[in-house]
Amino acid sequence: MNIIPFPEKEQWPALLARPVLEAKDIESRVMPVLEQVKNEGDAGIKALALKFDKIELTDLAFSEKDMSEAANRLDETLKAAIGQAYENIYKFHKGQLQAPEKVETMPGVTCWRKSVGIEKVGIYIPGGSAPLFSTVLMLGIPAQIAGCKEIVLCTPSDHPAILYAAKLVGVTKAFRIGGAQAIAAMAHGTESVPKVYKIFGPGNQYVTTAKMLISKEGVAIDMPAGPSEVAIFADDTALPCFVAADLLSQAEHGADSQVLLVSTSKKLLASVNIALAEQLEVLPRKELAAQAMANSKAILVETEEEAIEMLNQYAAEHLILSIGNAEEVTEKIYNAGSIFLGNYTPESCGDYASGTNHTLPTNGYARAYSGVSVDSFVKKITVQHITEEGIRNIGPTVEAMAAAESLDAHKNAVSIRLKNLL
């Protein structure tokens, strides 16, 4: 990794900048795809699959048989691992449900909020060389807990682990559709694919752009997304081989993945570079990881305070604190998607099975967005109930405010009730 010693603060924005995508160029390619699916439905999806993927789709939907037989195509060890991950993720997310709390704001005036699952949600799982069945769990489980009535899955992959996980989390319909056309299908609905109200899931820059574009048309999405990233803050208590392994686990996602290492120890940075060279040599996805590492940075800073300030400015998707006082430093971190503490908490565990969600804000969006949770799949509806005593107590306040805003009908809606109680 490129080691940058003691940069001045005015250099930080440039050092921490993510690559800029040519958004307008990508949008110009994605828009016709969205329009074709919107106008032509299933026929448009099949035409686009032939055009982009050279695949002739006959049946868009996975059948019940496809879903049921997926279990028979998996080895028992993997099924057990998926089952354990399901249990951990379910347990963590189940704890996020909150019972409504009724608050009496004044005598006779009671207010509360209730959580209602979004009726129809869509999950997108990309194809490619890594079958992301773990993401099916991460998105399907909170949808299941939230009580979503329809969970629609689109994926170009027929990997049995994806279908097995989909059945486990209660996916109601699954389709063999990939790319921007999958997002369009769930956003607009077709003869086969139900229209959903919110779309979740990762994807390449075309999928991401499609999600951003359909969000302008009133279909909600989980969050803006970019390439996956990790930042690590390590000191002399860290094990260089662990740090190197964590950097590479993120770098192997793709050439555009971001990895950042910040340390107060020059010795550690040098040791990590040695470990990186050794570990990179034996990685099957060596070429992808090497490209990501070539664009990554190791930054040497003077103090822990400076490191914390830099990491808060970066707002990483994944933040690993391989430092002696990790839990104490966590309290000073306010911009991160998910935090991993100490030498024995690799980011991989959060990706798969510790229980937390791995669908997290990237590209600096952790400054304002949270990762996916049960809350992502519910709406909060407020409720109020006012008794006769309550309307007597609150009525004059509302009458005075409505009159001051010259909204006489608002005032009258209260006054007519007060007169009825005389």
Q: At what angle do helices 23-40 and 205-215 cross, to 10 degrees?
A: 70
Cα separation, 403 vs 408, whole angstroms: 6
CB count within 10 Å of CB 307 equals 23
Phi, psi of 43 (to 5 degrees): -60, -40
Which entry of 150, 229, 252, 317 is annotated as an active-site residue? 317
Q: Among candidates 201, 206, 253, 195, which has minimal Cα distance to 223?
A: 201
- Alpha-carbon torsion, ordered 393, 396, 402, 408, to 10 deg: 120
What's the residue count for the chain? Answer: 422
Which entry of 318, 331, 399, 405 is annotated as an active-site residue? 318
What region does 108 belong to: left with phi over 0, alpha with psi -120 to 50, or beta? Answer: left
Q: Among candidates 3, 20, 88, 2, which has minimal Cα distance to 363?
A: 20
Cβ(155)–Cβ(181) below 8 Å: no
Cβ(348)–Cβ(261) below 8 Å: no
Q: Exposure of 170 by Cβ count < 10 A (0-12 exposed, 13-18 middle, 19+ buried)?
A: middle
Cα separation, 210 vs 187, whole angstroms: 10
Please confirm, yes or no, whether 317 is among the known catalytic residues.
Answer: yes
Please confirm, yes or no, whether 318 is among the known catalytic residues.
Answer: yes
Q: Of all residues in the chain, what percent are helix, strand and coil, respectively (each to 5)?
A: 50, 20, 35
β-bridge mates for residue 114, sequence order: 381
Cα separation, 106 vs 302, whole angstroms: 55
Burial 179-193 (b: 16+ CB within 10 A, else e): bbbbbbbbbbbbeeb
Alpha carbon 42 to its chain centroid, in Å, reads 28
Q: Exposure of 237 by Cβ count < 10 A (0-12 exposed, 13-18 middle, 19+ buried)?
A: middle
Q: Exposure of 148 by Cβ count < 10 A (0-12 exposed, 13-18 middle, 19+ buried)?
A: buried
Catalytic residues: 317-318
